[in-house]
């Protein structure tokens, strides 16, 4: 997919230099940024879905609760 952006020329020149210092073109740097941005949104969506699922869950404890003293009992 081709994408056209409107960027101030000074910003583009500085970004191009920064990308070159990292061994990549400005195009590669923008692509990498967009891939990370898209991945972050996907991760945030997955985490939100997990949180919602966890909050809906009744769990499997069947009334059991953690007891610190019980942890240290010896049989």
Predicted confidence (pLDDT) per residue in 36-57, tens digit:
888 888 888 899 999 999 888 8
In a domain, 63, yes or no: no
Q: Is the pLDDT of residue 15 over 80?
A: yes
pLDDT band at 35 (very low <50, low <70, confident <90, very high): confident
The whole-number average pLDDT for the span 8-16 is: 96
Tokens of 16: 């191009």
In a domain, 32, yes or no: yes
In a domain, 72, yes or no: no
Query: Average pLDDT of the chain?
Result: 88
Q: Is the pLDDT of residue 62 over 80?
A: no
pTM here is: 0.53
Q: How many domains does the chain have?
A: 1
- Domain of residue 22 covers 1-56
Check if the beta carbon of residue 52 is closer than 8 Å to that of residue 41: no
Closest-CA residue to 30 (of 39, 19, 20, 41): 19
In a domain, 71, yes or no: no
């Amino acid at each position: 997919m081709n994408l056209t952006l409107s960027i101030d020329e000074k910003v583009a020149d500085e970004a191009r230099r920064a990308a070159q210092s990292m061994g990549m073109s400005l195009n590669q740097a923008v692509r990498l940024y967009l891939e990370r941005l898209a991945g972050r949104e996907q991760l945030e969506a997955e985490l939100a879905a997990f949180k919602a699922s966890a909050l809906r869950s009744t769990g499997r404890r069947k009334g059991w609760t953690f007891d610190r003293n019980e942890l240290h009992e010896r049989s």
